[in-house]
Amino acid sequence: MKKVMLVFGTRPEAIKMCPLVNELKARTDEFETVVTVTGQHREMLDQVLRVFDVTPDHDLAIMKPGQTLFDVTCDVLLKLKAVLEDETPDVVLVHGDTTTSFAAALACFYLQIPVGHVEAGLRTHDIYSPWPEEFNRQAVDIVSEYYFAPTEASKQNLLGEGKLESGIWVTGNTGIDALRTTVREGYSHPELDWAEGSRLILITAHRRENLGEPMHRMFRAIRRVMEEHPDTKAIYPIHMNPLVRKAAHEELDGFDRLHIIDPLEVLDFHNFMAASHLILTDSGGIQEEAPSLGKPVLVMRDTTERPEGVAAGTLKLVGTEEDVIYREFSRLLSDQAEYEVMSHASNPYGDGHASERIADVIGGK
């Protein structure tokens, strides 16, 4: 029997790792499954754990007010050492591109414990965009033994860097697995009741590289377009970062067809996506989830590590310039043919069975 430890610490990681946790735990004859959370996000992480009924075996509880990348990296590295030495797992699974994943992979490297990278091979090829995520995921792939690539394009990125094909498996994305659990018929919420009868715009914005003037430009563009389309309403579940909140309130307060609300639990957020007309985001995971729900996505970033969605027509990269966002957002609201093309494009990110494939690989099937 293999002892498998999963390490994660943020809400996006938890959404994508909890389906894998539950798949591994269901195979009690194959795996001893150990869950370690770092608490890089606290409240938002705990929400996801509740939805998927996952109870951590270890909680490093690193989050503190005003934490920096230095704090997160050092605290994960130092606190995880004792857990790894006590548990001695056969393999440690980390996800994606967070600082938790980078520091956990580094700790495993120092202790010579094999690492499996879930969502391996995503690249923008610019280590400052997104920052620090592009560096984190490249660094994790340097020390990994198992590469679970969500798409063929991700596999090709890894091969191009000299990774051995025998260690790469194209599994699909575990985020699509999560939607099978969370999106529900008959779901209701007071905010969706408020938006009923309007075209609902769902907004997320939080990335570090967009803080400051880029975020102000994004919000101004959104408000301009919505002022010209009275049949729209928007919901913005806002990030906990005080700099994000300050920019949002400065640009969006006083506009009664846009509700700024506290972060939603994952079950709620996925059902809000399902009820929306289109989505504006600078997030990563939403670029994968929304297409499987048939929702066009305007990505308010200058680069994306998910070019498959752009190629498939489900995503459009619009950057952070006000006039570009204004033009592309307006077009999707005014041009039904353009909207139909994006909403009916195929989803390149998987079929909802990625966790099963990953478990099969780890189990030697």
Q: Catalytic site residue 180?
A: no
Structural domain includes residue 316: yes
Query: Which one is catalytic: 11, 42, 137, 239?
Result: 239
Query: Which one is catalytic: 97, 134, 268, 289?
Result: 97
Residue 106 near residue 130 (C-beta atoms within 8 A): no
Structural domain includes residue 178: no
Check whether residue 157 and residue 8 sit in a common domain: yes
Where do we find the tokens 């919505």?
Answer: 226
Query: Residue 43's pLDDT is what?
Result: 80
Distances, alpha carbon 242 to alpha carbons 212, 236, 324, 328, in Å: 12, 15, 26, 28
Check whether residue 312 and residue 356 sit in a common domain: no
Where do we find the tokens 């997104």?
Answer: 130
**What are the pLDDT digits (tens) for 64-87?**
888 899 999 999 999 999 999 999
Query: Residue 348's pLDDT is what?
Result: 87
Count of domains observed in the chain: 2
Structural domain includes residue 52: yes
Low-confidence residues in the chain, pLDDT < 70: none
Give dist(CA 206, CA 215) in Å, integer. 8
Handedness of CA 133, 264, 215, 232 (dihedral sign): positive
CATH number for the domain that contains residue 73: 3.40.50.2000
Coil vs helix vs strand at 146: strand
Output phi, psi for 227, to 5 deg.
-65, -25
Give dist(CA 17, CA 100) in Å, integer. 13
Half-sphere exposure at residue 236, Cβ-oriented, CA atoms within 13 angstroms: 28
Query: Which one is catalytic: 27, 189, 199, 208?
Result: 208
Query: Residue 201's pLDDT is what?
Result: 98
Check whether residue 222 and residue 265 sit in a common domain: yes
Check whether residue 19 and residue 51 sit in a common domain: yes
Structural domain includes residue 210: yes
Check whether residue 334 and residue 235 sit in a common domain: yes
Query: Residue 177's pLDDT is what?
Result: 95
Output the DSSP codes for 22-79.
HHHHH-TTTEEEEEEE--SSSHHHHHHHHHTT---SEE-----TT--HHHHHHHHHHH
Q: Catalytic site residue 250?
A: no
Query: Which one is catalytic: 13, 23, 59, 133?
Result: 133
Residue 356 near residue 363 (C-beta atoms within 8 A): no
Structural domain includes residue 112: yes
Check whether residue 116 and residue 210 sit in a common domain: no
Check whether residue 268 and residue 135 sit in a common domain: no
Check whether residue 69 and residue 198 sit in a common domain: no
Q: Catalytic site residue 208?
A: yes
Residue 348 near residue 312 (C-beta atoms within 8 A): yes
The residue count for the chain:
365
Q: Catalytic site residue 184?
A: no
Query: Residue 228's pLDDT is what?
Result: 98
Query: Residue 347's pLDDT is what?
Result: 81
Check whether residue 54 and residue 122 sit in a common domain: yes
Q: Catalytic site residue 239?
A: yes
Query: Which one is catalytic: 206, 220, 229, 257?
Result: 206
Peptide bond into 190 cis (omega under 30): no
Q: Which two tokens stand for residue 318?
A: 């619009």
CA-closest candidate to residue 304, choices 122, 156, 138: 122
Query: Which one is catalytic: 23, 119, 288, 305?
Result: 119
Check whether residue 32 and residue 151 sit in a common domain: yes
Query: Residue 208's pLDDT is what?
Result: 86
Q: Which two tokens stand for residue 263?
A: 């972060």
**What are the pLDDT digits (tens) for 180-209?**
889 999 999 999 999 999 999 999 999 888
Look up the domain containing 95 and give its range. Answer: 2-173+350-362
Check whether residue 164 and residue 198 sit in a common domain: no
Query: Residue 2's pLDDT is what?
Result: 97
Q: Catalytic site residue 43?
A: no
Distances, alpha carbon 96 to alpha carbons 90, 100, 118, 137, in Å: 20, 10, 6, 6
Beta carbons within 8 Å of 142's beta carbon, 6+ residues apart = none
Check whether residue 356 and residue 336 sit in a common domain: no
